[in-house]
Amino acid sequence: MTTMTRPDQKAAAPAPAPATSNHIFREVGLPEDPNNLYSQTVGSMLHGAEVMGLPHYLRLILAQPKNEIMVHFPVKMDDGSFRLFKGYRVQHNNALGPYKGGLRFHHDVHLDDVKSLAFLMTMKCSLVGVPYGGGKGGIKVDPRKHSATEMERIVRRFTTAIAHQIGPDYDIPAPDVGSNSQHMAWIADTYTFLSEIGGSNPTATVTGKPIEYGGSLGREKATGQGVVDTLCEMLPELKLEPKQCTFSVLGFGNVGSWSGKIFQDKGAKLVTVGDHTGFIKNDKGIDAHDLAVYVNKPKSEGGTGGIAGYPKAEKITKEEFYKHKVEVFIPAALEQMIQEPEAEMLNCKVVAEGANAPTTPAGERVLQRRGIEVLPAILCNAGGVTVSYFEWVQNKTFKSWDLERVDGELKKHMIAAAGRTRDARRKYKCDLRTAAYIGALERLQKAYEVRGIFP
Ligand code: GLU
């Protein structure tokens, strides 16, 4: 396995991993690279493990994934030429149920990114109380650079390459950055075709499908809904309520736009937005619904592929974006975006992590020093996988739930996960990220205690 720092990642000042994790890193053969995403995420978990006194054998097991699958597969392009693609599926842990987690389609996805994201899924599923383990996959591809017909062949061929490694009771992919419900429909169809004599409903091998083909109501907005459910649950502790909040969103894809729309509908005011195309501000408020329509406009109709050029807000610099005073900041783009410089600039009371691992440990230390509360991703963005679980249950029972039921059940899971996190914080007097890890680890520990280690 190679471990690397993302090429597009700017050099962060070295932030040593917590001393307690160092010997585990050595025992399982992990590099002690403070800028490596996997070292960072596992380091935070090991800190929680130390605080709660998790047995040594569980620290070892959880510090590495069970399986790391890497595939290469050729695909014919529309012009008749062939290209070779690289795909991944990492299965981190299945002690609590089948491996579960999304597929990232991004030109710069590496094995270590996928490992980190798979690890986070194990923690997230445990904390939010769904009967799944953690997995993640991806294809090194820029979906924006391929026609629909090329993407269909890429997705179907990738599914074929990993078909023996997934399944409705074994490993269940879903959408993530760059992938969507159409891609999930192609996966479900390809898997069904390949497993005609398979289980009772092979389409349950993937979630986040279109409603017309086994998808669940409420799944598309689910991660954003979970972010807002968490905020509504946690804000009163900071003597805040949505109606008093201005907020800022970084990344305006699925998670960012839905978080924006739903938080706005609760009375909060969106004032700044940033994405890969630029940064915008309007102190009178940016209508998240209107901005989402603008962002989704095709290029042929004047769309810019992002927020750039949005006529109802002014363009600002990255620095102005981070420094703008808001109550809530929602990072909903990629990992490692809040490093020390961004953390120094932020002028907010709460960071609600809509993305996976958006804050580096060094960035988080700055936020802590500055008294900014962080609602950690394994709590805050667990809404997506929770509604994926509801979709899977609906597929398996051949039933469909109405939106009210989906939203209501989601809220219950989010409130319970927030409660577990708060309980751990109270018991161990720690920060919320450590507490969320402890909440997740406690459930895993109980399962391992009763099931034991084979043989
Ligand atoms: N990709 C989403 C996440 O990171 C959803 C995963 C799923 O639904 O399985 O949580």
Hey, what domains does the chain have and what are their CATH numbers?
66-213 (3.40.50.10860), 222-380 (3.40.50.720)
Which residues make beta-bridge pairs with 329?
248, 351
Type and span of the H or E element at 359: none
Provide the pLDDT for residue 202: 87
49's CB contacts (< 8 A; 6+ apart) are 58, 59, 62, 437, 441
> What letter would DSSP give residue 315?
E
Q: Of 243, 447, 237, nearest to 350 (Cα)?
A: 237
> Is pLDDT of 7 > 50?
no
Type and span of the H or E element at 41: helix 37-52
Distance 316 CA to ligand 1 centre (A): 32
Q: Tell me if 251 sits within 8 A of 258, measured CB to CB.
A: no
Ligand 1 atom index nearest CA of 385: 8
Q: What is the CA radius of gyration of the chain?
A: 21
Cα dihedral 361, 362, 368, 372, rounded to 10, equals: -90
The angle, 0 to 180 degrees and rounded to 10, between the axes of the packed helices 37-52 and 111-128 is 30
Q: Is 384 in the pocket of ligand 1 (CB under 6 A)?
A: yes
Provide the pLDDT for residue 260: 98
pLDDT tens figures, 240-265: 999 999 999 999 999 999 999 999 99
Provide the pLDDT for residue 8: 44
Active site residues: 136
Q: Tell me if 350 sits within 8 A of 375, measured CB to CB.
A: yes
* Residue burial 232-243, b: 16+ Cβ < 10 Å; e: rest: bbbbeeeebebe
Q: Is 207 in the pocket of ligand 1 (CB under 6 A)?
A: yes
> What letter would DSSP give residue 357?
S
Length of the chain counted residue by residue: 455
Q: How far apart are CA 24 and CA 39, in angstroms?
A: 11
Q: How far apart are CA 72 and CA 141, in angstroms?
A: 12
Q: How far apart are CA 450 and CA 422, in angstroms?
A: 26
Question: How many other C-beta atoms can be found within 10 angstroms of the C-beta atom of residue 356?
Answer: 25
Q: Is 100 in the pocket of ligand 1 (CB under 6 A)?
A: yes
Provide the pLDDT for residue 263: 98
Q: Is 102 in the pocket of ligand 1 (CB under 6 A)?
A: yes
Q: Is 385 in the pocket of ligand 1 (CB under 6 A)?
A: yes
Distance of alpha carbon 348 from its chain centroid, rounded?
22
164's CB contacts (< 8 A; 6+ apart) are none
The residue whose CA is least distant from atom 9 of ligand 1 is 101
Percent of the residues in the chain that have a pLDDT greater than 90, as a whole number: 90
Section 155-164 average pLDDT:
97
Give burial (CB, 10 Å; 0-12/13-18/19+) of 393: middle
Ligand 1 binding pocket mutation candidate from 37, 130, 388 (most atoms within 8 A of CB): 388
> Is pLDDT of 377 > 50?
yes
Distance 175 CA to ligand 1 centre (A): 6
The residue whose CA is least distant from atom 8 of ligand 1 is 385
Q: How far apart are CA 446 and CA 198, in angstroms?
A: 33
Q: Tell me if 336 sits within 8 A of 9, measured CB to CB.
A: yes
Copy the structure tokens of residue 168.
Answer: 């409705």
Confidence band, pLDDT 50/70/90 cuts, at residue 18: low
> Is pLDDT of 20 > 60?
no
**Nearest 5 degrees, angle CA 60-CA 421-CA 345?**
95
Q: How far apart are CA 95 and CA 111, in angstroms?
A: 22
First to last CA, the chain: 27
DSSP SS3 for 92: strand
pLDDT tens figures, 344-365: 999 999 999 999 999 999 999 9
Residue carrying structure tokens 């996997």: 38
